Amino acid sequence: MSTMDQTPRSRFSVIDIVKTPLVVAVALIVFLLFLGEYLSPGFASGQQILRLLIVAALMGIVAAGQNLVILGGREGIDLSVGGVVSLAAIIAGNLMAGENSGIVLAIVGCLAAGALVGLINGIGVTLLRIPPLVMTLGMLGVLQGLLVVIRNGIPSGRAAPGLSQFVTQPFLLGLPGIIWLWIVIGICMAFLLGRTMIGYRIYAIGSNEQAAFMAGMPVKTTRILLFVLSGMFAAVAGICLLGYSGSSFANVGEQYMLPSIIAVVFGGTPLSGGKGGYTGTMAGAILLTVLQSILTTINIDESGRQMVFGATLLLLMLFYGRGKALRA
């Protein structure tokens, strides 16, 4: 009397679909584009949208790592991403020093630095059992100090022309390389989370760490890996940011910490972890970028934008952030 093939109850419901974070985010993006166009004609022009996408890609790449760490649960969060972005921009700028020949070395160096920061974060969180919030905040402080020492207050390093071109100039089908890179990262993330056992493991650990452990999953290794990936994604964003701005300047990465978290939550991954995915996060990153741009258009300065972002995160927590009690 197996009833395995029982017809499932129809789970199609318009309301459910409309309520998914991805749909909400996309709807808001469209709304904001119209609003921007209304406030300042030309806001939603093709060129302008392309520019917005480049900026969104930078934020989105940082958010990919943030997304992984948050999915892994146990209050997972990486506050050090901004520091890693800055650090990578500095390292890359100095290693390539405006020469295309230094690009490969720069990429390798930055990824290694990002991975190292992530590894230390991961070890602190798993083996030393330091709460992620504290661990990564402390790491952020260390990185900020390190940056001051390295730079000594003077902007240093220059992007190689090839890198700047990759980030800002059309590369394929009129889109710059960074957008293609982001698309590839999006596909890789979807594959990782949905079609690999590491993905299953990430969700399992985020949902019920004890059960994951009892099923033989390497809980600590996986969690360390998440922090390492987060450091590496932030490093990639740092390199791209250097290409975008030409040279690295004071705390260039700092602006990414809060938005990377908001993008993840906006995209439907609750801060409690265990569910969600990267597609929504990508939409969240675009949404935040458009919002940022509109705020700039209507002459709200950086501090005002920060306030709007902070309030957005708190507001989001009301809708998505709090994990609903699961029937288990």
Partner 1 sequence: MARLAAKAVSKTYGATKALRRGDLEVEAGEVHVLIGSNGSGKSTLCKIVAGSVRPDNGELLFEGHPMVVSGPNAARKIGIGIFYQELSLAPHRTVAENILLSDLPGGVFVDRKALNTKAQRYIDLFKNVTGDNFHAGAIVETLRPDQRQLVEIMKALSSEAPILIFDEPTSALDRAQVDRFFEILRELKDDGRSIVFISHRMDEIFALGDRVTVIRDGETVATKRIAETDAAEVIRLMVGGDETLTAAEPHQPTAVAATAKTVLAVDALSGDGFGNVSFNVAAGEILGLGGLHGQGQSAVLRALFGATPPTSGTVLLNDKALASSSPRATINRGLAYISGDRRRDGVIAGRPILENVTPVHALKQRLSLATPSSLREKAKPALEALRTKFAGFSHPIGSLSGGNQQKIVIARWLIDRPDVLLLDDPTKGIDLQAKTDLFQLIRKLAAEGMAIVLYSSEDAELLGNADRILVFNGGSVTRELTGADRTPFNLYQAAYEAA
Q: Which residues in this chain contact partner 1 in the complex, by CB under 8 A? A: 1-4, 6-11, 194-201, 203-204, 207-208, 210-218, 274-275, 326-328
Q: What does the DSSP 8-state code read for residue 327?
A: P
Q: What does the DSSP 8-state code read for residue 254?
A: G
| Shortest spacing between CB 291 and partner 1, in angstroms | 29
DSSP assignment of 99-131 equals: -GGGHHHHHHHHHHHHHHHHHHHHHHHHTS---
Angle of helix 177-195 relative to helix 219-245, nearest 10 degrees, comes to: 170
170-172 and 175-176 strand pairing: antiparallel
Joined together, the tokens standing for residue 287 give 């949404």
Q: Which of 287, 277, 268 is nearest to 16 (CA)?
A: 268
Task: Considering the complex, state which of residue 6 and residue 47 has its C-beta at the smaller distance from partner 1.
Answer: 6
Task: Considering the complex, state which of residue 6 and residue 169 has its C-beta at the smaller distance from partner 1.
Answer: 6
| Shortest spacing between CB 282 and partner 1, in angstroms | 22
| Shortest spacing between CB 12 and partner 1, in angstroms | 11
* Residue appearing with tokens 């997304």: 67
| Shortest spacing between CB 62 and partner 1, in angstroms | 26
Task: Considering the complex, state which of residue 154 and residue 326 has its C-beta at the smaller distance from partner 1.
Answer: 326
DSSP assignment of 147-185 equals: HHHHHTTS---B--HHHHHHHHSEEETTEEHHHHHHHHH
| Shortest spacing between CB 3 and partner 1, in angstroms | 5
Determine contact, residues 133/257, Cβ cutoff 8 Å: no
| Shortest spacing between CB 146 and partner 1, in angstroms | 36
Task: Considering the complex, state which of residue 173 and residue 325 has its C-beta at the smaller distance from partner 1.
Answer: 325
Task: Considering the complex, state which of residue 275 and residue 305 has its C-beta at the smaller distance from partner 1.
Answer: 275
Task: Considering the complex, state which of residue 36 and residue 270 has its C-beta at the smaller distance from partner 1.
Answer: 270
